[in-house]
Amino acid sequence: MDAEMIKSLESLIRYYSNDKLSNVVLELQKELKDKKLTDVESIYNKENISSEMLNAALEVKSVMGQINVIIHTLGIINSLPYILDEDEIIESVSLGADNSSSEFDLITNKRIAEFKFITWRGNDSTRLKTTFVDYYNLAEYKTYKDKYLYLIDCNNFKKFLGGKRRFTNILSKNTNIAKEFEEKYKDKYNYIYEYYSENCSKVKLISLKDLIPDIFNQ
């Protein structure tokens, strides 16, 4: 990362970190209410909404658009030394965030695994549903190998798996999985906890913050 990029990122963090952003936005909304052109121009003189700040945000965005791929790649590579056995051999690995090069994120002679580097924030419905698709694909995959789903923290997902959400809602945006599930199970499972209670032993859920606290215990 070059010096200009670092400077841009530092400026954004100074004014728009998570604990400040909502306050900044609310204050600007209040200041702009009932203002005329001349009043608006005076507001633009503030450092935190200058055109330089906008340019800094645009510059950072051009790089951070790939942040999910960066996190996925670095997350898997940094996890491997703590996951693999000494005699374990990597057969394939997909370091991108879309599994484009392999059926699963990691396949070895001993295990298949998926990784999700998600920080749960309280409004996680979409993230939980996409994580379930990974769980389902692992659970249904026929293999003699152990199956793992690695998350930064498994607690929220385990609560989700034990809940009373209907599959029609969970799989509503994934028509391929929904069709496969319906053909395979008909009306056997209506709620997610019913499926999980019978299939929980098929996939090992691992919290990376517990396995590798020096890296993932944020």
pLDDT classification of 137: cutoffs 50, 70, 90: very high
pLDDT digits (tens, 9 = 90+) for 4-56: 666 777 777 776 666 667 777 777 788 788 878 777 777 766 656 677 777 77
In Å, the largest CA–CA distance within the chain is 72
Residue 179 reports pLDDT greater than 80: yes
- Between 40 and 101, name the one with better pLDDT: 40
pLDDT above 90: residue 185: no
Higher pLDDT, 115 or 1: 115
**Where do the domains of the chain lie?**
3-64, 67-216
Supply the mean pLDDT for the chain.
83
Pairing label, strands 111-116, 146-151? parallel
pLDDT of residue 99: 53
pLDDT at 121: 78
Q: What are phi and psi of 169, to 5 degrees?
A: -80, -40
pTM (predicted TM-score): 0.76
80-100 pLDDT per residue, tens: 999 999 999 999 998 875 555
Residue with the larger pLDDT of the pair 130 and 98: 130
User: Which position has the higher pLDDT, 167 or 207?
Assistant: 207
Strand locations in the chain (E) = 90-93, 106-108, 111-116, 146-151, 204-207
Q: How many CB atoms lie within 10 A of CB 60?
A: 18
